[in-house]
Structure 1
Amino acid sequence: MLDAARRPTFLRAPRAAVVGGLAAVAAAAWLPVLSRPLSPDEGGFLMVAAQWGPGTSLYGDYWVDRPPLLIGLFQLADLAGGAVALRVFGILAVVVSVLLAGELGRLLAPGRPIAAVAASATAAIFLATPFFGTTEVNGELLALPFLLGGLVALARRWWAAAGVLAVAAAAVKQSEVDVAVAAVVAIGALVWQRAWATAARGAAAFVAAALASTAVILAWAAANGTDPAGLWDAVVIFRGRAAEVISASASSATDERAHLLLTSFLVSGAAGVVLVALVALVPGRRGRRRAAAAPLDVRLVAVALLAWETVVVVAGGSYWLHYLIATVPALVLLVVATVRHRPERWRWLAGAVAYAGVTALASVVALAVVGRPVPDDAGVKQYLAAAAGPGDTAVVAFGDPAILQAAGLQSPYPLLWSLPVRVRDPELTELTRVLAGPDRPTWVVVDGTSLDTWGVDATAAQPVLDREYIQERVVGNWTVYHVAGREH
């Protein structure tokens, strides 16, 4: 059978058309969310990005446990128009990811045209299915093109490019280090084959490019007032402390989300793809001999990425559905590995992928017909946007900065999300200072009826809120307060 790179153009064109069509279908599944209200993360990151520059905290006047390239991408979206531009960025990330998945299939399973189509179909399905939290633009999604691009670079032995893309992915979401994991496996395979010189050159190029890229990103962040020590604390140290807090204090909602995440992985068909692929990839004696002769066993990379991505999803602690997007590279490589190494068993896996496709289509159609529920913070956004005046500020306690972003209000309290509050200000010392200080916020929005929540001691802050603020409105589960003695 002809190598994929040598196939005549008229044979490659239909495959390219199918891959492009799959990318278009995945993009179309995102169109209904273009006008959907921003999620807390989307609104919060846009709010942080819009004011990023030298300030009083890590990113301007706000602190968030994310690396700088993510904030930079949201900054571009803000400059391009905000919410709709951000969703367009997300759609572009989906399209590019599906196309790169197809290229991975072409490169890693040469001579098997179905590999490109199967790989792109896998990416398209799991980037379209609502079971993977594909209703908002987040770090996992924006990092995916860098991850798949890095894997393509490794497949081509473009070590330096892979190093750059590895750093870019981690600079969007710190846990997305799949390219580095794959590079270690690839270099290890070369060492196993005693290709010492090739392994040394590849490792040197990868590391040198990664270090240079890291230096550029850190210098760029520092120019915007974000220092390397602060970044290390935010993207590495904080995650360990957050895991401890979640383990010790998390409410039952965390367990409920974990159950929903596991159920979604099963119902979406992703678990079936993993299980069937792993069974199909178990080699017989002839399979073992063929694998030993291969320059790089794609199965090793696929299993290594699956192991790492499982750790990422589980160790995230909060168990949001969009964590599952991090498993897309492993799902794609498992499919490609099956086509390459056990083509006679591809029908098994095709059935699992087809089931996932049907499930994704049904869920997308159901959401389009029934519609997504209106977020419970919508009424608060509308009220504050109408009631707030020039110069007003606000604090949301806790965890929904999209309220502030939608109302066009800045916060004098640097912690916009609930988990940083629980880790960095668990006794609400800083919040108490802000509420009692001369620059106290005009508005305070509380999720519930008090500041008390898991992982937080509101003993000092609640009396200050009760003394300095007057309850203005209750909207759903949210309570809106206005500072006493100031008209509005």
Structure 2
Amino acid sequence: MPSWTSGGRPKAAAGGAIVANGGTITHHHGVGRDHTPWIGRATRAGRHRPRRRDLTLGCYRGAMVTGGVAPSSTVALRARLNPFGALPERQRTWWALGGCLLLALVLRAPYLSTPLGTDEGGIAYIARNWPGGHGSLYGAYWLDRPPLLLGLFKIAVLGGDRGLRVLGALAAVALVVVIALLGRAVAGPRAGRIAALLAALLTGSVSIGAVFTPGELLAAVPSTLSVLCLILAHRWRHARFVFAAGALAVGAALIKQSFLDAGVAGVAFVAVSAGLNRDVRLRWPLAYGAGAAVPLGALLAWLAAAQQPLGGFIYALVGFRLDLLHTLAGSSIPLHVRLAGLAVPALASGLVLVVAGAVMGLRRLRGDRTLVVTFSAWLAAATVGVLAGGYYAPHYLIELVPVSCVAAAAVLASARTRTCVAVLGACTAVSLTAALDGAAHLPKRRPVLAVANYVRDHARPGDTQYVMYARPNVVYYAGLPSPYPYVWSLMVRARPGARAQLQRLLGSTARPTWLVQWHDADLWQLDPGDRTDRLLARGYRLAAIVCGHPIYVRNDRPAPPRVTRSACPRSAGLPYLHARLSPPRLQTGAIPR
């Protein structure tokens, strides 16, 4: 029989076992099982252990009441079969988190030296030249992205390509840590470790582009932090966590405007909490709104200082997307074909398995109405954020990673050990298979670098450039300014008046010195009357064909010297096939393809 302290607490039995109400409390880290709630205060080695309430079931975590003290032989056998079980819970969590962080970095390591992709190069190019005056939001160029993203790239681009890759690595590490903390807060230490592993595999997945530095990866960190603050508010009943959640939710949207998922989850959380608890009915909505008002106020102050209209900013973030939807609706590629482009990366990364587990995890959370509503709203908003844009790139799937990892970890933590190991093993096998394949076929982007190097090597001070119809990373690596404000092809296609503005520029004396024809002039029916072809024939001469891409120079510019022949990337031919720089005899539609 146990002995009791004067305060009614059970004393520690021999060997450090916790004894209470005539039985031991054996630690069990499963979540979601119907264990008897322990409402006393137990001690181990004479120390008071504070109660930790299970947020999902209303029971106290980590303990299950049994009928008596386990025999010493049984304890010894368990320790022999599970040597790591002897580690304190905190040490086990730290070791697991450290291993997951190392895994995330190892998966990213092969891509640290790869050239920048299209979006990375374009944003870095604008950030490098921002602010530059010209009376527009981002200087001489137009961009449909929020300012915090430009600010992060502005800092990272100081370190060049490697600086941007380091920014992505820091975001991945931070995201793994925050997801682990959120999983632990929702469903216990075991769920936190599982969530960290899933997050490490997905943030290191090349299939969804997470090994680079997409805006979605950067925005996922404050978005997940916002939801973590909501869970902490649910546990500790402090309005300051709600305030922080509101500020972080808006901060995520100011990095990537599609990341409204944390804001939707926050509104759902505040509404349900206010409906269920009278003591927070007024305080929490006010706190959440006040938190959201801080970054919004800073944004309005910045727009006022830059003398930029609010309407232009709203159009860049929202209105342009509506124009883009209208443009894509008339595309020759139907919607279901574009949506199918997300299926392969979702399968190759293992995200499909994690999302399926997340849906099951929502059922596991239904014991707490506030949690199940919050996570359901979070998952639904993240799904809408991925699918509502009309244009689907693999890195859009990153928005589903945080909520899927946490919800899936909640259900796996309560599953049998064999089931949990089998599911995690399947996810790991799928992710590592894609990682090995990606590492064997690194994106060298040699044509991009070859074209950019040619333009940069032959340019003179004051020269300008344009890539038709936009290849932002070529513009970035060439390093010349552009007189045309749109560096993405979607802007030329969807922005009203963009095509006419380009044709006016090509027919004027301000036309760019160098013009790279990356795409055909009539691609996407942008030049049905061959006017752009005629303008090129009138104002330019063919300077070179680099990796199949014609490069033109203004016809009032002296010819560049002949370049030494060298091996062509990706083929046995030559990267530079130079034409004689006499005035071209180009007929309509006769520009080299």
CA distance in 2, matches of 1:81, 1:276: 39
Amino acid at match of 1:216: A
1:159 pairs with 2:238: no
The one of 347, 353, 357 equivalent to 1:272 is: 353
- Superposed CA deviations along residues 340-366 of structure 1, whole A, max 9, x for unmatched, are 7xx146864653343222222222223
Amino acid at match of 1:296: T
CA distance in 2, matches of 1:404, 1:189: 49
TM norm structure 1: 0.89
- How far the C-alpha of 1:337 sits from its partner, in A, is 3.6
Whether contact under 8 Å (1:119, 1:332) holds in the other structure is yes
Note closer, same or farther for the CA distance 1:49–1:166 as it changes in structure 2 (3 Å cut).
same
- How far the C-alpha of 1:89 sits from its partner, in A, is 0.5
Whether contact under 8 Å (1:62, 1:415) holds in the other structure is yes
Classify the secondary structure of the residue corresponding to 2:330. Answer: helix
The one of 357, 382, 388 equivalent to 1:309 is: 382
CA distance in 1, matches of 2:222, 2:521: 40
2:370: which partner in 1? Answer: 296
1:217 pairs with 2:299: yes
1:47: which partner in 2? Answer: 125
Note closer, same or farther for the CA distance 1:353–1:184 as it changes in structure 2 (3 Å cut).
farther
The one of 534, 539, 547 equivalent to 1:468 is: 539
1:68 pairs with 2:138: no
CA distance in 1, matches of 2:525, 2:423: 42
CA distance in 2, matches of 1:94, 1:261: 21
- Superposed CA deviations along residues 428-471 of structure 1, whole A, max 9, x for unmatched, are 111112112222110111223x3212152453433212211112
Whether contact under 8 Å (1:60, 1:225) holds in the other structure is no
CA distance in 2, matches of 1:381, 1:256: 32
1:179: which partner in 2? Answer: 262
Note closer, same or farther for the CA distance 1:176–1:113 as it changes in structure 2 (3 Å cut).
same
Note closer, same or farther for the CA distance 1:282–1:100 as it changes in structure 2 (3 Å cut).
closer
Classify the secondary structure of the residue corresponding to 1:377. Answer: helix
1:99: which partner in 2? Answer: 177
Whether contact under 8 Å (2:361, 2:410) holds in the other structure is no
2:310: which partner in 1? Answer: 228
Whether contact under 8 Å (1:58, 1:226) holds in the other structure is yes
Classify the secondary structure of the residue corresponding to 1:481. Answer: strand
1:241: which partner in 2? Answer: 323
Alignment length (residue pairs): 472
- How far the C-alpha of 1:324 sits from its partner, in A, is 0.9
Note closer, same or farther for the CA distance 1:86–1:373 as it changes in structure 2 (3 Å cut).
closer
Classify the secondary structure of the residue corresponding to 1:82. Answer: helix
Amino acid at match of 2:352: A
Classify the secondary structure of the residue corresponding to 1:172. Answer: coil
Classify the secondary structure of the residue corresponding to 1:106. Answer: helix
1:478: which partner in 2? Answer: 549
Classify the secondary structure of the residue corresponding to 1:472. Answer: strand
Whether contact under 8 Å (1:59, 1:225) holds in the other structure is no
Whether contact under 8 Å (2:351, 2:401) holds in the other structure is no
CA distance in 2, matches of 1:205, 1:9: 41
Which moves more between the two structures, 259-268 or 137-146?
Answer: 259-268
CA distance in 2, matches of 1:164, 1:455: 44
Whether contact under 8 Å (1:57, 1:414) holds in the other structure is no
- How far the C-alpha of 1:210 sits from its partner, in A, is 0.7
- Superposed CA deviations along residues 241-297 of structure 1, whole A, max 9, x for unmatched, are 111101112547x866532321221232221222244346546xxx96xx1xx3633
Amino acid at match of 1:179: A
1:17: which partner in 2? Answer: 95
2:5: which partner in 1? Answer: none
Whether contact under 8 Å (1:143, 1:170) holds in the other structure is yes
What aligned pairs does 1:5-154 form with structure 2 within 5 A after superposition? Answer: 10-53=88-131, 54-78=133-157, 80-109=158-187, 112-154=188-230
CA distance in 2, matches of 1:426, 1:124: 44
Identity, % of aligned positions? 33
Classify the secondary structure of the residue corresponding to 2:484. Answer: coil
Note closer, same or farther for the CA distance 1:332–1:402 as it changes in structure 2 (3 Å cut).
same
CA distance in 2, matches of 1:96, 1:125: 14
2:521: which partner in 1? Answer: 451
2:279: which partner in 1? Answer: 197
Whether contact under 8 Å (1:185, 1:300) holds in the other structure is yes
CA distance in 1, matches of 2:134, 2:347: 45
Which moves more between the two structures, 165-174 or 122-131?
Answer: 122-131
2:456: which partner in 1? Answer: 385
- Superposed CA deviations along residues 101-146 of structure 1, whole A, max 9, x for unmatched, are 111012112xx32111011111111111112112421110111111
1:335 pairs with 2:422: no
Task: Supply the RMSD in Å over aligned alpha carbons.
Answer: 2.6
Classify the secondary structure of the residue corresponding to 2:207. Answer: helix
Classify the secondary structure of the residue corresponding to 1:156. Answer: helix
Which moves more between the two structures, 457-466 or 99-108?
Answer: 457-466
CA distance in 2, matches of 1:197, 1:91: 42
CA distance in 2, matches of 1:347, 1:189: 36
CA distance in 1, matches of 2:176, 2:183: 11
Structure 2 unaligned spans of 5+ = 1-26, 28-50, 55-60, 63-85, 234-240, 561-593
Classify the secondary structure of the residue corresponding to 2:254. Answer: helix
Note closer, same or farther for the CA distance 1:255–1:392 as it changes in structure 2 (3 Å cut).
farther
Note closer, same or farther for the CA distance 1:380–1:4 as it changes in structure 2 (3 Å cut).
farther
Determine which structure has greater relative contact order: mean sequence separation of CA pairs < 8 Å that are 6+ residues apart, divided by chain length: 1
Amino acid at match of 1:69: L
Amino acid at match of 1:325: I
Note closer, same or farther for the CA distance 1:322–1:233 as it changes in structure 2 (3 Å cut).
same
Whether contact under 8 Å (2:183, 2:195) holds in the other structure is yes
The one of 12, 30, 52 equivalent to 1:3 is: 52
The one of 386, 390, 397 equivalent to 2:468 is: 397
- How far the C-alpha of 1:423 sits from its partner, in A, is 1.2
CA distance in 2, matches of 1:191, 1:356: 38
- How far the C-alpha of 1:224 sits from its partner, in A, is 4.6
Note closer, same or farther for the CA distance 1:57–1:469 as it changes in structure 2 (3 Å cut).
farther
Note closer, same or farther for the CA distance 1:125–1:42 as it changes in structure 2 (3 Å cut).
same
Structure number having the greater helix percentage: 1
Which moves more between the two structures, 86-95 or 461-470?
Answer: 461-470
- How far the C-alpha of 1:28 sits from its partner, in A, is 2.1
1:326: which partner in 2? Answer: 399
Amino acid at match of 2:396: Y
CA distance in 1, matches of 2:307, 2:491: 20
Whether contact under 8 Å (2:247, 2:295) holds in the other structure is yes
CA distance in 2, matches of 1:469, 1:382: 20
Note closer, same or farther for the CA distance 1:36–1:295 as it changes in structure 2 (3 Å cut).
same
CA distance in 1, matches of 2:315, 2:169: 32
Whether contact under 8 Å (1:163, 1:209) holds in the other structure is yes
Whether contact under 8 Å (1:397, 1:444) holds in the other structure is yes
Amino acid at match of 1:152: L
Note closer, same or farther for the CA distance 1:220–1:351 as it changes in structure 2 (3 Å cut).
farther
Whether contact under 8 Å (2:358, 2:406) holds in the other structure is no
1:168: which partner in 2? Answer: 251
CA distance in 1, matches of 2:264, 2:429: 32
